[in-house]
């Protein structure tokens, strides 16, 4: 099934690396934060990735949306508690054979929105085996 049809049908695909980051975060969450996380992630039906080695970008990103037709919804029934418009949810350090990736998950107004990936090599997804060597949770 092509990506256009998947977005129309409300289906999106996480790659194995993204699934691993999400599972790792879930291992650190409990109570209401875990309920909110699962509710929000379960509603996403569109993902946009910018993971190219390009001088014009400082980092890679994976952004998540709950779409209704062509409009992104922001009226999530469950939201994280927040004080600022944009806040970090978590940070991860991932090391592979020849690369290190620093990942920051962000929320906007209590809703998980994007994953920023930083790498000196501008390789934003691991090639081969990798290990999540550190995790910091903010919520």
Q: Identify the domain containing residue 78 by its residue range.
A: 3-137
Q: Tell me: pLDDT of 113 over 70.
A: yes
| Contact in structure between 126 and 96 (CB atoms under 8 Å) | yes
Burial class, 95, CB count within 10 angstroms (exposed 0-12 / middle 13-18 / buried 19+): middle
Structure tokens at 35: 């309920």
Quote the pLDDT of residue 82. Answer: 93
Counting the structural domains of the chain, the total is: 1
Beta strands in the chain (DSSP E): 46-50, 60-65, 67-68, 71-72, 86-96, 100-108, 111-118, 130-137
Q: What is the pLDDT of residues 38-79, one digit of tens each?
A: 999 999 999 999 888 777 778 999 999 999 888 989 899 999
Q: What is the pLDDT of residues 6-34, one digit of tens each?
A: 545 555 788 999 999 999 999 999 999 99
Q: What is the pLDDT of residues 116-133, one digit of tens each?
A: 999 988 889 998 999 999
Quote the pLDDT of residue 8. Answer: 53
Helix axis angle, 16-28 to 31-43, nearest 10°: 160
3-state secondary structure of 19: helix
Quote the pLDDT of residue 5. Answer: 52
Q: Tell me: pLDDT of 4 over 70.
A: no
3-state secondary structure of 35: helix
């Amino acid at each position: 099934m092509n990506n256009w049809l998947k977005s129309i049908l409300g289906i999106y695909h996480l790659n194995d690396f993204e699934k691993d980051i999400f599972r790792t975060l879930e291992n650190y969450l409990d109570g209401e934060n875990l309920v909110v996380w699962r509710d929000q992630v379960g509603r996403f039906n569109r993902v946009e990735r910018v993971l190219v080695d390009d001088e014009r970008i400082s980092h890679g990103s994976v952004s998540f949306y709950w779409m209704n037709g062509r409009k992104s919804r922001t009226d999530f029934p469950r939201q994280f508690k927040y004080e600022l418009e944009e806040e970090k949810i978590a940070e991860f350090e991932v090391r592979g054979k020849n690369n290190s990736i620093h990942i920051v998950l962000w929320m906007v107004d209590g809703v998980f929105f994007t994953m920023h990936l930083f790498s000196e090599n501008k390789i934003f997804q691991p090639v081969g085996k990798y290990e999540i060597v550190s995790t910091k949770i903010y919520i």
